[in-house]
Amino acid sequence: MNPSELLHRFHDVRSYVGWTDDDAVRVRQMAPLVKQQVAPLVDDFYAEIERHPESARAITGGAQQIRRLKRSLRTWLFEALECRGDSDFLARRWKIGLRHAEIGLNPAYVAAAVSRLRNGIVGLLAESGGDCTQSLPLVVQSYNKLLDIELGIIQSAYEEEYLERVKQAEHERSEVKFRLLVEAAACMVVILRTNRSIAYLSPYSEQFTGYGIAEIEGQDFVERFVPHAAQADVAAELDATIAGRPTEAFEAPLVRRDGSQRWLVWNTQRMEDFDGKPAVLAVGQDLTERRDAQELMLRSERLAGIGQMITGLAHESRNALQRIQSCSEMLELEVADNVEALRLVRRLQEAQDNLLRLFDEVRNYAAPIQLERKACRIEATWREAWGVLEGARRERDAVLLEQLDGADLSLEVDRFRMVQMFRNIFENALAACRDPMRITVRCRNVQFQQRPALEVRVADNGPGLSPQARQSVFEPFFTTKTKGTGLGMAIAHRIVDAHGGQIAVGTDWPQGAEFVVTLPRTVA
């Protein structure tokens, strides 16, 4: 309580008990008599304390402390008899109250102790009845008022301090409970300031993200952790929470220190007091595996559906194709002398070949991928794929460039599938780029999901991918070409997936499209 508040309370209490200047006169008049008996009063006071275990418990310093306390009590009584009301006087009274709270003395004993003093003083006054110039009852009344006012101030200080200590102890217990809960929780617990800056990360959060709080405290949570595409949505949710609307079950991606992305489901709510300021408490549960499993299941169902359809079509289509093939070969024999007719028959056969290729691509996409992994030099696979496309490159100015930078190019993969994957990527580039066409393959050693891996970047010098293409390039049947099934990159994605790796559109190749393939070196 500040001095002016204390002074106000003191005068209010004085007014409440009806203290007047006359009371002061009466007290001062009898003060010399009372002062003479202060020593026995004080001795009696502490003797009584020692007879009661609960009050005696507050005195832990033995005889030395009791001597000090007796001196303080004498001083207190002498000052009280002066009937002062200034700020210094009141500040000392306040300290006495605080001190009683510090030593943990129950307030009942404070009141009882003052009552004992009161009885002692009243007894003295009664015995001195013949020394009063004022009526004894009035004198006794004035002394009672004096002691009541003193008790009021002391108790007031005691209660404030006591309550503060109880509140502090409760707060500390609550803090301990919070910390135990947070530290044991197997989910992210994050506290953000109202400007979205990071104020707290639980131990699990530090381990999960790969960042210690010391290095990212104060940074914007959204900028640090959320991929660019999701930043606006996440920021909006956090801002709504700061404004008082809690969030439940909000799913958002999070990028960890190692670059891997996880999906979490968040609950957020506003906290009114974290280190004295409002904040946002965000609790996030990792649901990446569940999402991946759901996606895989959906994809499998879709593929199974396509597979079933394809199987159903397979028999009839291939029989029909066989009849077309057979008849066109026989027709070729019939028109062997007719150049124009032969040309038409050949065009018929080319169309049939295209149809067959389309058919095989769809079948390849839908069929389960069974890998035969062996130790392999990855550069051999992309060189083989480039060789397979020699026919397609025959009349093109297309060059394959390699920047291997000392990367370790051995890993365990299905060689056939790797050739297929690179072939699909190269075919994509050949279709998109004009001459002179340059494909650059760059490699480096990386870590992927905490395992050694190889990153292979394949980039061309073509027009690059539109924003829609970047989003959809790995979707089946997505194509920007007038010909083709749109399955090449979807198949590449399935092959990389089957190897436990990742294929993504690159973001930092200056001109053209880039695909980044990351392959774990060995089977998990």
* Interacting residue ranges for other proteins, rule: CB under 8 A: 311, 314-319, 321-327, 329-330, 333, 352, 356, 363
Q: Please, what is the minimum distance in Å from the beta carbon of residue 361 to other proteins?
A: 15
Q: Please, what is the minimum distance in Å from the beta carbon of residue 368 to other proteins?
A: 15
Question: Is the Cβ of residue 82 or residue 360 nearer to other proteins in the bound state?
Answer: 360
Residue indicated by tokens 């004198």: 139
Q: Please, what is the minimum distance in Å from the beta carbon of residue 310 to other proteins?
A: 9
Q: Please, what is the minimum distance in Å from the beta carbon of residue 324 to other proteins?
A: 7
Q: What is the DSSP string of 475-508?
A: STT--SSSSS-S-HHHHHHHHHHHTT-EEEE-S-
Q: What is the DSSP string of 385-453?
A: HHHHTHHHHTTS-EEEEEE-TT---EEEE-HHHHHHHHHHHHHHHHHHPPSSEEEEEEEEEEEETTEEE
CB-CB contact of 265 with 249 (8 Å) = yes
Q: Which residue from 519, 520, 517 is spatially nearest to 442, judged by alpha carbons?
A: 517
Q: Please, what is the minimum distance in Å from the beta carbon of residue 348 to other proteins?
A: 12
Question: Is the Cβ of residue 131 or residue 360 nearer to other proteins in the bound state?
Answer: 360
Question: Is the Cβ of residue 87 or residue 326 nearer to other proteins in the bound state?
Answer: 326
Tokens standing for residue 253 = 């991606």
Question: Is the Cβ of residue 52 or residue 323 nearer to other proteins in the bound state?
Answer: 323
Provide the phi-psi class of 372: left if phi over 0, else alpha when psi is between -120 and 50, else beta.
beta
Question: Is the Cβ of residue 187 or residue 356 nearer to other proteins in the bound state?
Answer: 356
CA 317 – CA 463 distance, rounded (Å)? 37
Question: Is the Cβ of residue 337 or residue 405 nearer to other proteins in the bound state?
Answer: 337
Question: Is the Cβ of residue 318 or residue 377 nearer to other proteins in the bound state?
Answer: 318
CA 475 – CA 441 distance, rounded (Å)? 23
Q: Is 280 helix (H, G, I), strand (E, B) or coil?
A: strand
Q: Please, what is the minimum distance in Å from the beta carbon of residue 327 to other proteins?
A: 6
Q: Please, what is the minimum distance in Å from the beta carbon of residue 494 to other proteins?
A: 20
Q: Which residue from 3, 64, 6, 76 is spatially nearest to 35, judged by alpha carbons?
A: 76
| Entry field: residues in the chain | 524
Instruction: Give phi and psi for 281, each to the nearest 5.
Output: -100, 125
Q: Please, what is the minimum distance in Å from the beta carbon of residue 352 to other proteins?
A: 7
Tokens standing for residue 295 = 């996606």
Q: Please, what is the minimum distance in Å from the beta carbon of residue 325 to other proteins?
A: 4
β-strand pairing of 410-413 with 398-403: unpaired
The DSSP letter of residue 226 is: S
Question: Is the Cβ of residue 72 or residue 349 nearer to other proteins in the bound state?
Answer: 349
CA 477 – CA 480 distance, rounded (Å)? 10
Question: Is the Cβ of residue 47 or residue 309 nearer to other proteins in the bound state?
Answer: 309
